[in-house]
Amino acid sequence: MSNKTEVWQGTLALMVLKTLNAMGPQHGYGIARRIEQTSENLLSINHGTLYPVLLKLEQEGSIASEWGMSENNRRAKFYRITKTGQKQLAAEVKQWEQATEIVARFVTMKGIKA
């Protein structure tokens, strides 16, 4: 494999929510591209893996979907974040920050090397 990083289970949902929150309604392709772009192509995802995540978020009521037309006139399903989704996003961002902070402390900790 290249130096691209695999996406961790669970973080994809956060990225999807964040993307939708920032960009407004998007279709699956748009979301996938945006994630790749944001990560400056460091992150590689199989676009297919996005769909189960979208389904889960929709079932939870965090996002809603609707058929529409893409910018180049293709029929596509558009997803948008809901009120519940925004709340969830806020909570998860907070959680994520906490987690990374904790992990960061361990990583930067100076100790006796074995």
The nearest distance, CB 100 to other proteins, in angstroms, is 23
Contacts of 29 by beta carbon, 8 Å cutoff, 6+ apart? 47, 70, 76
- Binding to other proteins by residue 48, rule CB under 8 A? yes
- Binding to other proteins by residue 49, rule CB under 8 A? yes
- Binding to other proteins by residue 47, rule CB under 8 A? yes
Tell me, what DSSP letter sits at residue 7?
P
Q: Which of 1, 2, 40, 75 binds other proteins (CB under 8 A)?
A: 75
- Binding to other proteins by residue 72, rule CB under 8 A? yes
- Binding to other proteins by residue 9, rule CB under 8 A? no
User: Which of 59, 67, 52, 62 has the alpha carbon at shortest distance from 12?
Assistant: 52
Report the alpha-carbon distance of residue 6 to residue 3 in Å, rounded. Answer: 9
Q: Which of 23, 51, 95, 99 binds other proteins (CB under 8 A)?
A: 51
